[in-house]
Structure 1
Amino acid sequence: MNLTSRKIGKYIAGITLSLTVAFSGSTLIAPKQVEAATASASSTASKVISVGKRYLGTPYVFGASAGQTRSFDCSSFTQYVYKQVGISLPRSSKSQSKSGRFVSKSQLQPGDLIFSDTNRDGSINHVSIYMGNNKILHTYRKGIGVTISTFKGSTWDKTYVTARRVM
C-alpha cells in the first residue's frame, strides 16, 4: 500500500469516526440542564477530535516546540489541539495530568486525556486523547507521528496511570 493510499484510508477512517462520535449519544431522557451540559461537552469533544485528526501523519519530534504544527510530541499535540477549542493546558504530559478532574478508566468519554508511564519508571511520560470506541488519538515515535490507535490491550493501556477530564 503506497503512502497516498494510506493517507486516504486514514482520512476516510477519520471521517467515519467523527461521524460516529458526532451522532452517538444517550437515548435516556435527562433534565434539560444536564442535557445541555452533556451536549456542550460532547460538542467540545467532537471539536477536539476533529481538530486533532487534521494533523494525522504529522511527524513526531521529542521536545517539539509548542504552538506550531510542523511536528509534535505527545504533550505539544494535546496542548495545541485543546487550545484550538479554548482550553489551556500546561506543556508537559506530567503537568497536564494534574489539569481538570480525575476520571476512572471505566468512565472514559471522548475528549478525556489518558496518561501513561511507558518507560515504567514511575513517571508519566505519555498523553493521548480518548476518542471513544476504544480508540485514542496521539503521537509517538519518529516515523509514526500523529495517529489513531486501539487503547485496550495496548502499551498505553498496560502502562495507564490516570485520566483527566478537562472539558
Structure 2
Amino acid sequence: MNNKWKIVLTGVTFSLALFIAPDAQASTYTVKHGDTLTKIAKAHNTTINQLKQWNKLSQDRIFIAQKLVVTPAKVVTPAKSAVSTVSKSPAVTKAATATTKTKTTAVSVVEEKVESPQNALSHTVMKGDNLTKIAKKYSISVASIKQLNNLKSDAIKVGQKLTISQQSTKDLAIEAPSAKTVEAEINFNQTADEAIEKQLKKEVALPGKVSQQTVRLYGQAIQAANAVLGTPYKYGGTTVDGFDCSGFVNYIFNSVGVQMDRKSSLMYFEQDTTKVAQPVPGDLVFFKNTFIPTISHMGIYLGNNEFIHAGSKGITISNIGEKYWSERFVAYKRLNNLK
C-alpha cells in the first residue's frame, strides 16, 4: 500500500505518526494444464521451496484448477513516530515519510473440494465416451479428470456431468495456449502409453540370471539403500539430505561403483536400461502415471514383490502388489552396463 501525505507547514516542528492498515490479501495462481512448480516459481520470481511452504505442500504434485499462493500476505505494522522539521518557507509542500516494519506470513491454503462451480468448464458423458476419449478432447490427463471429480476408478455413466476445468470458458479463451502448444500437449497425452509399449517392444529381454560381479554389486546397492531408509523426500535431491526417486537410484548405484549420469526416471527407462525376463533383487522397477501420464517413478527391486524407493514420505519400502503400485507398474529393467 502506497500512502503519501502532503503537508503544508509554516515553520514548525511536527511529529507525525502513520498508521497503515494491514493488507491481508495474498496473490494466488490457478494451476493450468502443463504447469509444474518449477514453471510457476519462475513465472512469479520465487522458489519451489517457498511455494511448498506457503501452500503447505509435502510433495511436488499439483493438479489442474488448484489455487496456489504465489505471494504471501503482508501485514504492515503501525510505524513509529517520525519527526520532520521544515524550514520557514511559506506554503512548502513535502511528503512526510515514516519507517515501517513489514512482516511476511505464510498463508495456509486448504485444497478446494472437488465441486463444479457454475462457471466451470464441464462435459456431460455421452454414449461411447470414456475418460481417455474425454481427456483427449479437452487436452487434459485422465488423472486430472479423476482428481477434479473425485473418481476412484475409470468407470463413468451416460448423463454424468464431469468437471473439466474450474476456470470459466471466457478465461480459457483468454488464456488458451497457441495451437502448436495444444497440439503438442494432446500428442503427448495420446502417445504416452504407446511410447512406453514401443520402447519395451524394441528391447530384447535380458535373462533372469546375472553375473557374480553383478550379484555382488546388487548386494552392496541394497545394503546402501537400506542404510538411508527414512531419508526425507526432496525434489531434485541426490544426497542424504534428501532424495527424489531417480536421484535416490543415482546415488545408490554410484556409491557402489556403478556409474550413472543424473537423469529422470523417463530418461533412465528409455536410454539406460533393458527389460528383464525375470527380475533379481537389485534390478530396477518403473511406474507410470504417478503425476504425469508416462514413466514418472522408479525404485530398486528387493525381491518378494517389494521395492525400495523415494516416495512422498521419504525412502521407504513398498509392495508392488499394493493397488496403487500394481495399477501403475510398467516393467522391471536392468542397467545396460550390468550383465
Residue 243 of structure 2 aligns to a residue whose secondary structure is coil
Name the structure 2 match of 1:100.
273
Report the 3-state secondary structure (helix = DSSP H, G, I; strand = E; otherwise coil) of the residue aligned with 1:138.
strand
Q: Which whole-Å CA distance do the structure 1 matches of 2:292 and 2:232 have between them? A: 26
Superposed counterparts of 1:17-166, under 5 Å: 38-64=211-237, 66=238, 68-89=239-260, 90-98=262-270, 99-104=272-277, 107-119=278-290, 121-141=292-312, 144-166=313-335
Query: Which structure has the larger Rg over C-alpha atoms?
Result: 2
Could you say which structure has the higher helix fraction? 1
**Equivalents in 1 of 2:330, 2:291: separation in Å?**
10
Change (3 A) 1:79 1:102: same
Which segment drifts farther, 72-81 or 82-91? 82-91
TM-score (norm 2): 0.35
Tell me which residue corresponds to 2:77: none
**Alpha-carbon distance between aligned partners in 1 of 2:326 and 2:311, rounded to the nearest angstrom:** 15
Q: CA RMSD in A?
A: 2.0
- Give 1:120 shift: 6.9
More strand by share: 2
Instruction: Give the letter for the 1:88 counterpart.
Output: Q
Judged with a 3 Å threshold, the aligned counterparts in structure 2 of structure 1 residues 88 and 71 are, in CA distance, closer, same or farther, namely same
1:91 counterpart letter in structure 2: K
Rounded Cα–Cα distance in structure 2 between residues aligned with 1:112 and 1:80: 15
How many Å apart are 1:40 and its aligned residue?
Answer: 2.0
Gaps of 5+ in 2: 1-209
The whole-number CA distance in structure 1 between the counterparts of 2:318 and 2:299 is 10
Letter in 2 for 1:162: A
Q: How far apart are 1:162 and its partner, in Å?
A: 2.3
- The higher-RCO structure (CA 8 Å, 6+ apart) is 1
Q: CA deviation at 1:87?
A: 1.6
The aligned counterpart of 1:28 is: none
Q: How far is 1:39 from its partner?
A: 2.4
Judge conservation of contact 2:290–2:297 (CA < 8 Å) in 1.
Answer: no
Percent of aligned positions that are identical: 31
Give unmatched runs, 5+ long, in structure 1: 1-36
Residues 139 and 154 (structure 1 numbering): CA distance in 2 closer, same or farther, change over 3 Å? Answer: farther
TM-score computed with the length of structure 1 as normaliser: 0.68
Structure 1 runs of 4+ aligned residues shifted over 6 Å read none
For residues 70-94 of structure 1, the C-alpha deviation after alignment (integer angstroms, 9 at most, x for no partner) is 0000110000001011222342111
Q: Secondary structure at the match of 2:223?
A: helix
- Report how far residue 117 of structure 1 moved: 0.9
Aligned residue pair count: 126
CA distance in 1, matches of 2:223, 2:323: 23
Residues 161 and 153 of structure 1: is their aligned pair in 2 closer, same or farther, counting only changes over 3 Å? same
